[in-house]
């Protein structure tokens, strides 16, 4: 009996080892080249990127297109945004040179370019006669340029923000969404559609703390309410009447008609809520529309209408963001790395994605020509043209009612903003849950902002 038990356990141990070996062997056979390192006899580059759906698509397409055409093998490392920022900073600051290309946002591009960490990309783009830099959307391209007027990143996809709403619910309730709604109108509409279906709330707005989470939409609200983080001469304005009014409005709207569990709702949670018919409106990134119209992940396909980002004092208030490919100065493979960046941001790549994966998955929001493609026009339906117009109407230099010290719509382009924005958003999140007040949050934020401002005043 004991012998049988021992044999059974030995067999199970052997099974564990076999499982490990089989899974690794099978996986190795099916691997797409990620993380596996490159063969020494062929040229390869190392790419670090976030795991957004558009990046997963490029990973899938690389071997059969880019590598096949150029012979350059691409080794991808995929990390979440925060880890990626840390990793690139560490890699560049220590001159380790482990990565030849990285995907970064517009905020990091501006900061790292000033630090002298990035290769300029204009010369590579200009040297490629098929690239057509003039086709890049002006606000997107401008946000990636240095003071010398050169591009320091090539845009992979761009986005603004707009209001998404349930056409069928509005029709049922006899309501009409204006093309350019004001925030006051949106608040009234949220009250009307709150509870239009069992368990349905009026609107989803990000309440998850984080400078890139809650403060992406909230800073656009602050901008259009007449507020700003800093004046042009670096006077902190976090508890100014305009900033306070905007945050009060945002918190009140969420508490009265917003999603369940708002303090932990970011982009993903709001996407879930809208896709699962739990909210009737959602103000967020234009890039969300592709997911809402994807039958594989959404239950509201064809039922969503789109309107400009709501406003109050300004004509437009959409944000501007792009994910871009940058080439750290530490790379020793500028030729191969620039070929990859040019390919990934080219018109041809967009066509490849459209033909192989579907036109709704094209990394759009960076080229005007994308919106002229008949297939993309059909796939992007109601939201394509509005996305283009929203991006074109953004003004990163002057997004509000007063001059700004840095360029950027929903963020202040200084390294301290990540920490400042996150801290203030944590206090506002406490106000959302009732464990604090907006005034307390902004008074505390003002002190933090004043400390930050001291680093820049008089310079």
Partner 1 sequence: MSTSTLEKRGTFLNRRKKDSRGEGDIAEKGGPVWTIVAWVATLLFFAPVAWMVLTSLHTEADAATNPPTLFSGITFENYGALFDRGVGPYLINSAMASIVSTLLVLALSIPAAYALSIRPVEKWTDVMFFFLSTKFLPAIAALLPIYLLVKRVGMLDNIWVLVILYTAMNLPIAVWMMQSFLAEVPKEILEAASVDGAGVLRSLWSIVVPMATPGIAATSLICFIFSWNEFLFAVNLTATISSTSPVFLVGFISSQGLFLAKLCAAATLVSLPVLIAGFAAQDKLVRGLSLGAVK
Contacts of 348 (CB under 8 A, 6+ apart): 130
CA separation for the pair 422, 415 (Å, rounded): 12
Q: In terms of CB distance, is 98 or 393 closer to partner 1?
A: 98
Q: In terms of CB distance, is 67 or 275 closer to partner 1?
A: 275
| Binding characters for partner 1, 31-70, by CB under 8 A (x = yes) | xxxxxxxx-------x-x-xxxx--x--xx----------
Q: Do 362 and 350 form a contact (C-beta atoms < 8 A)? A: yes
**Sole binder of partner 1 in the list 77, 264, 422, 426 (CB under 8 A):** 77
Contacts of 193 (CB under 8 A, 6+ apart): 166, 169, 170, 173, 175, 200, 202, 280, 281
**Sole binder of partner 1 in the list 146, 266, 381, 415 (CB under 8 A):** 266
Q: In terms of CB distance, is 210 or 305 closer to partner 1?
A: 210
Write the Ramachandran bin of 42: left for phi over 0, alpha for psi from -120 to 50, otherwise beta. Answer: beta
| Binding characters for partner 1, 295-334, by CB under 8 A (x = yes) | -xxxx-----------------------------------
Q: Which stretch binds partner 1 (CB under 8 A): 264-272, 301-309, 389-397, 422-430?
A: 264-272
Q: Does 98 bind partner 1 (CB under 8 A)?
A: yes
- Paired with 76 in beta bridges are 47
Q: Does 385 bind partner 1 (CB under 8 A)?
A: no
Identify which of 238, 206, 229, 271 has the alpha carbon closest to the alpha carbon of residue 432.
206
Identify which of 287, 306, 305, 314 has the alpha carbon closest to the alpha carbon of residue 182.
314
CA separation for the pair 340, 336 (Å, rounded): 6
**Sole binder of partner 1 in the list 24, 232, 369, 435 (CB under 8 A):** 24
H-only helix segments in 238-323:
241-257, 267-275, 288-292
CA separation for the pair 336, 326 (Å, rounded): 13
Question: Cβ 348 to partner 1, closest distance in Å?
Answer: 23
Task: Taking each helix axis as running N to C, give the angle between helix 334-344 and helix 347-357, from 0 to 180 degrees, rounded to the nearest 10.
Answer: 60
Size of the site for partner 1 (CB under 8 A): 69
Q: In terms of CB distance, is 138 or 357 closer to partner 1?
A: 357
Q: In terms of CB distance, is 20 or 385 closer to partner 1?
A: 20
Contacts of 42 (CB under 8 A, 6+ apart): 71, 72, 73
What letter would DSSP give residue 240?
A: S
Distance of CA 89 to the CA centre of its chain: 19
Question: Cβ 451 to partner 1, closest distance in Å?
Answer: 25
Q: Does 96 bind partner 1 (CB under 8 A)?
A: yes
**Sole binder of partner 1 in the list 268, 369, 433, 435 (CB under 8 A):** 268
**Sole binder of partner 1 in the list 267, 282, 349, 376 (CB under 8 A):** 267
Q: Which stretch binds partner 1 (CB under 8 A): 23-31, 188-196, 389-397, 427-435?
A: 23-31
Q: In terms of CB distance, is 7 or 455 closer to partner 1?
A: 7
| Residues lying near partner 1 in the complex (CB under 8 A) | 2, 9, 12-13, 15-17, 19-21, 23-38, 46, 48, 50-53, 56, 59-60, 75-81, 83, 87, 90, 94, 96, 98-99, 212-213, 260, 266-268, 271-273, 275-276, 278, 285, 287-288, 291, 296-299
């Amino acid at each position: 009996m004991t012998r049988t038990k021992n044999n059974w356990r030995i067999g199970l141990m052997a099974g564990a080892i076999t499982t490990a070996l089989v899974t690794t062997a099978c996986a190795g056979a099916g691997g797409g080249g990620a993380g596996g390192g490159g063969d020494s006899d062929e040229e390869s580059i190392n790419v670090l990127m976030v795991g957004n759906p558009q990046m997963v698509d490029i990973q899938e397409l690389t071997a059969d297109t880019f590598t096949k055409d150029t012979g350059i093998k691409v080794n991808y490392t995929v990390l979440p945004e925060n880890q990626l920022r840390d990793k690139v900073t560490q890699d560049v600051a220590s001159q380790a040179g482990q990565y030849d290309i990285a995907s970064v946002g517009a905020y990091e591009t501006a900061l790292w370019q000033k630090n002298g960490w990035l290769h300029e990309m204009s010369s590579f783009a200009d040297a490629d006669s098929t690239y057509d830099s003039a086709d890049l959307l002006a606000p997107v391209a401008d946000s990636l340029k240095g003071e010398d007027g050169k591009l320091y990143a090539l845009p992979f996809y761009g986005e603004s923000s707009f209001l998404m709403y349930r056409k069928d619910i509005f029709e049922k309730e006899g309501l009409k969404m204006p093309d350019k709604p004001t925030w006051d109108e949106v608040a009234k509409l949220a009250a009307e559609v709150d509870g239009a279906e069992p368990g349905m709330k009026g609107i989803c707005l990000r309440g998850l703390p984080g400078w890139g989470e809650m403060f992406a939409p909230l800073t656009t609200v602050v901008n259009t309410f007449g507020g700003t983080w800093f004046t042009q001469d670096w006077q902190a304005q976090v508890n100014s009447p305009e900033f306070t009014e905007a945050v009060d409005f945002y918190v009140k709207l969420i508490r009265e008609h917003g999603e369940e569990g708002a303090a932990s709702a970011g982009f993903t949670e709001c996407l879930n809520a809208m896709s699962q018919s739990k909210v009737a409106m959602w103000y967020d990134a234009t890039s969300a529309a592709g997911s809402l119209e994807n039958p594989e992940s959404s239950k509201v396909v064809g039922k969503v209408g789109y309107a400009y980002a709501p406003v109050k004092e300004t004509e437009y208030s959409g944000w501007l963001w792009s994910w871009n490919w940058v080439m750290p100065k530490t790379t020793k493979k500028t030729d191969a790395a620039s070929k990859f960046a040019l390919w990934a941001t080219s018109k041809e790549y967009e066509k490849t994605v459209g033909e192989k994966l579907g036109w709704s998955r094209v990394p759009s929001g960076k080229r005007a020509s994308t919106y002229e493609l008949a297939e993309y026009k059909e796939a992007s339906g109601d939201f394509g043209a509005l996305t283009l117009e929203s991006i074109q109407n953004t003004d990163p230099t002057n997004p509000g009612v007063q001059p700004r010290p840095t360029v950027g719509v929903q963020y202040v382009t200084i390294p301290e903003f990540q920490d400042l924005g996150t801290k203030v958003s944590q206090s506002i999140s406490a106000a959302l849950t009732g464990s604090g007040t907006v005034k307390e949050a902004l008074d505390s934020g003002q002190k933090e902002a004043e400390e930050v401002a001291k680093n820049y005043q008089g310079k």
